[in-house]
A and B are shown apart, each in its own frame.
Chain A
Amino acid sequence: MAVIEAAPPPAGAGARRLAWRQAEVVERVAETHRATTLVLDVPGWPGHLAGQHVDVRLTADDGYQAQRSYSIASPPEVPRLALTIVRLERGEVSPWLVDEARPGDRFELRGPIGGYFAWSVTAGGPLLLVAGGSGVAPLMAMLRHRAASGEAGHAVPARLLFSSRSFADIIYREELERLGSAPGGPAIVRTLTHERPPPGWRGHARLIDAPMLAEVGFPPAAAPKVFVCGPTPMVEAVAEALVGLGHEPGRVKTERFGATGGE
């Protein structure tokens, strides 16, 4: 298995419990028609690594509670946490977060969780990020962290291959365009999978496949650190194609979310 670059939290029974904290919504950002970013003030937040996630807990008036996990989209350098959430039609928690939450609302969260699917500039690169839909959120934290790290960040070659259903579904579209065109910025390659691209589209128009990964990704000999996040079928296909191209399986880190029902 790959070397763990990020310092993990202490393990075992002696570890301190991850406390539930109060999060207050300070801003809502409409990303797409289905995705919203909530910017949160979380007093006492201990800091995190790009790629980690939090558990969110909502409580109804009669005490009924529901929990879900969401990736952190903001980099460690920013004190306020950003979560980007897509509304799932049969969801229980995401509809409240996407449609109902407004500035001043409070709910509980705890974290950061997960030290494997995490990256920092000190771990080096090259960095190959492959995202599907809202799977871009933890990878965005990595790109934002890279951008916030100045020279050290620019020294790490980075590429993002980002698959969205349609042009209107591209999360962080303008910020990614800015990042990609900035000096020392990452290479951003986009593909649209379900709708014909608009006129003048400079990107792909099919599911991510091995030829696309061979074209966009670094060669296996460059030993890139690879992070893949998206819906299960996309992650399975991408990880398999990367291994087929010769990338060391232990350097391909994946995070999947279920296609339906799961949040």
Chain B
Amino acid sequence: MTTTRGFTGRRGAEADEQRVPPGQYVTNDFPVLSAGPTPHAPLDRWTLALQDGGSLVGKWTWEEFQALPRTELTVDIHCVTKWSKLGTAWEGVTIDDLLAAAGLQEPPAPYLMAHCDGGYTTNLPLEDLLDGKGLVATRFDGEPLAPEHGGPARLLVPHLYFWKSAKWVRRLRFMENDEPGFWESLGYHIYGDPWREQRYGGD
């Protein structure tokens, strides 16, 4: 290992290897990272759709979505650009409850593509979304989710790098095979586990 002359490090919370994945540092801010302008979807025209092949298997207006069972989750989040934020509090609808609301006993396919306002996409295995692991979140820190952070609704999959927690999510499409989404097509890792430091393809 090559050491860097004169570098000692700050050794804050990032020194806790049980809590903070390799190569990450802890921030108290909530940085914003998006590839383009922030979209503003009016709530009276917002819908969330669940798609299997050519057919729509579920669709909720904002009002209908609010009536689904709510789950609160306090988790650490890890962005591939190196910041981690500890103990973030979210509220939303689990993917389990969403499937149940659509009358699906189990997911019809092993993978899912999230489609978002602005054209962003990201791919995920269903097993990373089930058993309470994935949320469609509409509230952060007790407040409605701000547009620059993905409001009105974003995916929350905290055990993967945060680009998988797609902002402005509008449609979840089941897939038989894993296909790369937006960043995954641009050199980022197809799965994105921060604990294995899967930042880029080949990591």
Mask, A40-64, CB within 8 Å of B = 1, is 0000000000000001011111011
Apart from A13-B190, A59-B3, 9 more pairs, CB < 8 Å = A12-B184, A12-B201, A13-B201, A17-B203, A59-B7, A100-B7, A256-B34, A258-B27, A260-B29
Choose from B120, B180, B184, B187 the contact partner of A113 (Cβ within 8 Å).
B187
User: Which residues in chain B, 6-36, are within 8 Å of chain A measured between CB atoms?
Assistant: 6-12, 14-15, 22-25, 27-29, 31-36
Residues from chain A with Cβ under 8 Å of B34 in the complex: 254, 256
Choose from B27, B118, B119, B148 the contact partner of A236 (Cβ within 8 Å).
B148
Interface residues of A (CB under 8 A from B): 1-2, 4, 8-18, 22, 55, 57-61, 63-69, 92, 96, 100, 105-108, 113-117, 232, 236, 239-240, 242-243, 249-250, 252-254, 256-263
Closest to A64 in B: B9
Give Cα A61–Cα B27 distance, bound, in whole angstroms.
24
Residues from chain A with Cβ under 8 Å of B105 in the complex: none
B55 at the interface (CB under 8 A from A): no
B58 at the interface (CB under 8 A from A): no
Residues from chain A with Cβ under 8 Å of B3 in the complex: 59-61
Give Cα A1–Cα B182 distance, bound, in whole angstroms.
9
Give Cα A58–Cα B148 distance, bound, in whole angstroms.
31
Residues from chain B with Cβ under 8 Å of A113 in the complex: 187, 200
B88 at the interface (CB under 8 A from A): no
Give Cα A69–Cα B2 distance, bound, in whole angstroms.
19
* CB of A60, distance to nearest CB on chain B (Å): 5
Give Cα A67–Cα B119 distance, bound, in whole angstroms.
30
Tell whether, in the assembled complex, residue B27 and residue A66 are in contact, meaning their CB atoms are under 8 Å apart: no
Most chain-A Cβ atoms within 10 A of its Cβ — which of B11, B38, B180? B38
Tell whether, in the assembled complex, residue A11 and residue B203 are in contact, meaning their CB atoms are under 8 Å apart: no
Most chain-A Cβ atoms within 10 A of its Cβ — which of B32, B36, B180, B199? B36
Complex A-B: 6 CB contacts under 8 Å: A17-B201, A18-B200, A59-B1, A243-B37, A250-B119, A258-B32
Choose from B37, B83, B148 the contact partner of A242 (Cβ within 8 Å).
B37
Residues from chain A with Cβ under 8 Å of B185 in the complex: 4, 8, 11
